Chain A
Amino acid sequence: MHAVSPLTLAALLFAVGVYGMLVRRNAVAVLMAVELLLNAVNLNLVTFSALLRDRLGMGQVFTIFLITVAAAETGLGLAIVLMLYRNRGTAAIDDARELGEDGALGLKRLPSPTPPAASENDKAVAK
């Protein structure tokens, strides 16, 4: 059996995954794109495992391992997305830029958070 078909399929899947990850704004869609990337890699692992007649089946072991990790990662990612949505009312990934530097390229200066009102203790100290 030729390895061309599964490898081509894996490459296409990977390309789609990269495109989705870099371009989509919705965080859920980005997570789905990441799944595509991982599965493209899984396909490669299985293909080469069969092609090289790996007696220990390391490629398949890695695939199962990766599926497990991907499931956990998706659970975690979805939880983060959920919290993001609850706090901001949107899941658009390029709006979540609070960690960017002030005055960075193409970023508007964020409104500085209002300082908390001085507490009673501070007033006492000021006196």
Chain B
Amino acid sequence: MSQASTVALWIPLLPLASAAALAAVSITERGRKAVPALAVVPTAAAAVLTFVVLFGHGTGAATESRVRYAATGGPELWLGARVDGLAALIAVLVGVVATAVQLYSVTYMAHEERYTSYTALISLFTAAMLVVVYSTDLLLLLVGWEVMGACSYFLIGHHWERPEARSASIKAFLVTKFGDVPFLLGILFLAHGAGSFRVEPIVQHAIHQGGHGYTAAGAILLIGGVMGKSAQIPLQTWLPDAMAGPTPISALIHAATMVAAGVYVVARLYPVFLVTPAALWILAIAAALTAVTAALSAFAQRDLKRILAYSTVSQLALMVAALAAGGRDAAVFHLMSHGGFKALLFLAAGVVIHKAGTGNVDELNAHGLRRKLPVTFVTTTIGLAALAGLPPFSGFFSKESIAGVAYETATQSGPAKSVLGTPPSGIGWLVLIATLLTGLLTAAYCLRTWWMLFVPLDRVWLRRDRKAAETPAEAAAEVAKTIVPASETGAAALEALVAASEEAKSEPGAVVGVGAGAGTGVEEGTGAGAAASAGEGAGKPRTGPEAPLAELGPLVVLAAITTVFGFVGLNHGWFASWLGDADGNAYRTAAAEAGKLIQPADAYRLSPAPLSTLLAVLALLLGLALVFSALRAKPGTDPNRVLGLLRRPAREGFHADDLQDAVAVRPVQLAADAVVFLDAEVVDGYVRGSGTASRALGEGLRRLQTGNVQLYLTGVLTGVVVIAAALGFGR
């Protein structure tokens, strides 16, 4: 009974029950006061139970509890949980982030009309992800996987009054489903090869039989689903558009559920991929491309949530790259640390957007948020530092471990990654270069984002001496002249700002009030600029204190986790021994010496190699220096102009949407048009033609019906004569 997997069986049922109860409440329209409790308490209880499972599992061997669901005649179907270190750790991540999101939503979404159904869907989402994490049977995993796809559709389309939310939800659903088709086929291939849908026989089959036939085909097909869910090229486009959903949903999708599922599945079935070099190459190339292009896109975005979305794509690509380079431990480590700080960043972005009424960083720059939102300022700074990879935050350690793995694979130095062999050194070089480039770009866009959010671009100590504007209205006009050439919004924004400054001239008192509210005299012009953007009707800024405790609490907790979590990777084997071996066995010296482990004992470490760390830190510093020098060179402008010609395509996501449109959408539409033509013109033509022909025949025969009996008789007689003649002379 005390097996961890027995407890794990019941964990997904808690959020599931919560979802059912919330759905009942949303139908009956009664008991709405109980909704926050119904949403938060079961999720929190599930989170606590995931910790129980984690510590119950400890560093032991994988445990499994299952019941046979159906005897199929072929591979049997099982309902059950398989707990190894990987599942236990990821379940903790899911539980913690889901609880934080539910708690945060209590106040963040309270004013929403559809709050009840929203929380019900979050609970269902969480339950589905926990099913994916714990499931022992790949078909059960697929059920959770698809339920997540449906939930993401509903949640991204939460504001279905807005057309972009509707189209984003449909896009997310279709693009991920596109990847799910090969995913299902891959599962069937693997199950056919191993004779079972369960994880363990499939992994053992891969270890003992090597990577040919069904295993290789299954691994390559599975990548389709991984690319869809984890937003890798060529299926990456849904994730930035998914920002149309509420911000807590973005936190949930980006940190713990949905996108993590793709990386998780590769890690869980890792030996299957390890023995298939072709699959590793596909993963590495897609991930390297995705990491760099998404980081460039993040650098060029103007919307805060889109910056974070592209950074998620880029960081997920780093995890996939680490998996391709043989670094399962590093990838899972980064998945967990990224889950923490990305949830933190999204939740903080929610506070910022509610406070300022806009997500545009150009406008946010003028809001003086550092003074208005002190807690958010500190926590966001921690989150961005972790994202950039600054020590001592968690992102530093996890990224260094990825760089270290890539370096060791590239040079084929260090201990062998597994008894199944180390991936080719070409993958290592590819991943190493991508990691370093992404590190540089990540540092650059993190600094830029931080600066745009919290520090006015034209600080006095950055810009040339400038005569202080005499009236706030003139100051606003000057700010307009300064900002507009940089922001590329052209004449429209200029007109808006000038109009706002004219308004300000007519009502000087109001602008002075805003300017004073913004703080110091230096920032008076900035304050007027804030009035201008508010005058554009960008949104409904929230007034009053920074944010409710239910929103700040998760921020502080996640920031604390982000600060300390990295150190678990430092000690030789803390994180790695929790994570266990790739086939689910615990790390034990005896087993390692007997050669029973996939990963030799030496591979159980995440502390980075000195040279790769040095390179990564250099890339980080280079990125920071790039943005800082851009800020110094031309104060008051967006530092992403250093991208030069790349900026515009990067902002559009390198026109991946157009490519998908040309490759997939338009051919499908053409085929649909052809089918419509075939149906309406060809098939219906026959049907309608038979009707028309019989009408015409009837019309002709009607004409013969004269009513003259003798004419009829003549006809009959003629017929008889003809038949008789035919019979008589035809012989």
- A residues sitting closer than 8 Å to B (CB atoms) are 18, 21-23, 30, 93-94, 96-101, 103-107
Contact = CB atoms under 8 A, between A and B. Distances in A.
Nearest to B707: A100
Contacts of A99: 705, 707
A101 B705 contact: yes
Nearest to A101: B705
Contact of A98 (B702, B703, B707): B707
B548 to A, nearest CB: 71
Contacts of A30: 710
Given A22-B710, A94-B710, A100-B708, A105 B703 contact: yes
Given A101-B707, A104-B702, A107-B706, 19 more contacts: A18-B717, A22-B710, A22-B714, A30-B710, A94-B708, A94-B709, A94-B710, A96-B707, A97-B708, A100-B707, A101-B703, A101-B705, A103-B703, A104-B706, A105-B703, A105-B704, A105-B706, A107-B707, A107-B708
Interface string B705-731: 111111001100100000000000000
B597 to A, nearest CB: 95
20 contacts: A18-B717, A22-B710, A22-B713, A22-B714, A22-B717, A23-B710, A93-B709, A94-B708, A94-B709, A94-B710, A96-B709, A99-B705, A99-B707, A100-B706, A100-B707, A101-B706, A104-B707, A105-B704, A105-B706, A107-B706
Q: Which bucket holds chain B's interface residue count?
A: 10 to 19
Contacts of A100: 705-708
Nearest to B709: A93
Contacts of B713: 21-22
Nearest to A30: B710
Interface of B: 702-710, 713-714, 717
Contacts of A93: 709-710
A96 B711 CA distance: 12
Contacts of B708: 94, 97, 100, 107
A17 to B, nearest CB: 11
Given A18-B717, A22-B717, A104 B710 contact: no
A107 B703 CA distance: 9
Given A18-B717, A22-B717, A104-B702, A97 B710 contact: no
A21 B712 CA distance: 12
Contacts, number: 45
Query: Chain A interface secondary structure, helix, strand, loop or mixed?
Result: loop
A94 B705 CA distance: 13
Nearest to B705: A101
A97 B717 contact: no
A18 to B, nearest CB: 7
Nearest to B714: A22
A96 B706 CA distance: 10
A110 to B, nearest CB: 9
Contacts of B717: 18, 22
A93 B709 CA distance: 8
A104 B705 contact: yes
A46 to B, nearest CB: 23
A70 to B, nearest CB: 18
Contacts of A22: 710, 713-714, 717
A102 to B, nearest CB: 9
Contacts of A101: 702-703, 705-707
B720 to A, nearest CB: 10
B701 to A, nearest CB: 9
A23 B702 CA distance: 24
Contacts of A107: 706-708
A30, A98, A103, A105, most chain B CB atoms within 10 A: A105
Nearest to A21: B713
A107 B707 CA distance: 9
B714 A97 contact: no
Nearest to A97: B707
B401 to A, nearest CB: 92
A97 B703 contact: no
B718 to A, nearest CB: 11
A20 B709 CA distance: 13
A1 to B, nearest CB: 26
B724 to A, nearest CB: 13
A106 B706 contact: yes
A105 B708 CA distance: 11
Nearest to A107: B706
A21 B704 CA distance: 20
B303 to A, nearest CB: 70
B707 to A, nearest CB: 2
Nearest to A23: B710
Contacts of B709: 93-94, 96
Contacts of B706: 97, 100-101, 104-107
A121 to B, nearest CB: 34
A47 B707 CA distance: 38
B627 to A, nearest CB: 88
Contacts of B703: 101, 103-105
A113 to B, nearest CB: 16
Nearest to A100: B707
A105 B714 CA distance: 15
Contacts of B714: 22
B338 to A, nearest CB: 80
A60 to B, nearest CB: 26
A93 B702 CA distance: 21
Contacts of A18: 717
